[in-house]
Structure 1
Amino acid sequence: MKKTLLALAFALSSLMAIDFNTASKAELMKVKGIGPKKAEAIIQYRKTHKIKSINDLKNIKGFNSKTISKIKNQKSALKDKANAKKAALKNKKSKMKAKMNSKKEALKNKKAKLNAKKSQLKKMKKEKMEKLDSKKSAFKNKVKF
């Protein structure tokens, strides 16, 4: 699950964090729908223009609304997957936290029971010692002449 999440996060970050104004040709080609020719066209276009949004790619030869829509959908799908994974992890975390709290409570109860038992044993020991002391005294009194 961690590997899947890392792969998804990498794919998402590569698309969402890509800056079309500064990305290298290799970075641009990581986006589905952008091959070597389109990446080169973006690089040439940005020499004279600033790319403010994905829609600005329409001004570049080879990019039409269909291609741009695919890029947007890819970005949106990756974002949705990441959010779903994040929600699942959050849910798992809260379940684990509840389980830990339950275990802590059980340990706390066990400790209280042990302390009660310990007190009971101390009381029994004290009573036995008092009884023994009483027997010792009685014996000493009998032995005296």
Structure 2
Amino acid sequence: MALWLVFCPGFVAAVDLNTATAEQLQQIKGIGPRTAQLILEERQRGGDFDSLQNLADRVKGIGPKKIGTMEQSGLTAGASKKPAASSVAPRPGVDIRKKP
């Protein structure tokens, strides 16, 4: 598989904004060491990013043009780590208000 990646320069590996390390972020075109550090600090301070637009809103120096470049380089704002309100759905016809 490694050879395939070498011979496919157009291949872009996705980097999740909400889980990436500074080193992984720096693999994205437009993100250097300083920007990677700002992203990590803001992620720690304010929590996961909802979208790439949310990244631009929260991190100084990242605008629409830079977001476009980063997105084309494989940056994504993957699923947030926030748990769903309820991951268990009641069965049809079962009244969950009554105790057994």
TM-score, normalised via structure 1 length? 0.42
**Which structure has the greater CA radius of gyration?**
1
Question: Match of 1:12, SS?
Answer: coil
Could you say which residue in structure 1 is the equivalent of 2:51?
53
Deviation of 1:21 after TM superposition, in Å, equals: 1.4
RMSD, aligned CA: 2.4
**How many residue pairs align between the two structures?**
70
- Give me the identity figure in percent: 29
Greater per-residue helix proportion: 1
Deviation of 1:33 after TM superposition, in Å, equals: 0.5
* Alignment gaps of 5+ in structure 2: 75-100
Is 1:70 the equivalent of 2:69?
yes
* Alignment gaps of 5+ in structure 1: 76-145
Is 1:21 the equivalent of 2:27?
no
- Checking the alignment, whether the CA contact within 8 Å between 2:53 and 2:67 is kept in structure 1 is yes
Higher relative contact order (CA 8 A, sep 6+): 2
How far apart, in 2, do the equivalents of 1:56 and 1:24 lie? 18
How far apart, in 1, do the equivalents of 2:27 and 2:73 lie? 12
How far apart, in 2, do the equivalents of 1:27 and 1:73 lie? 15
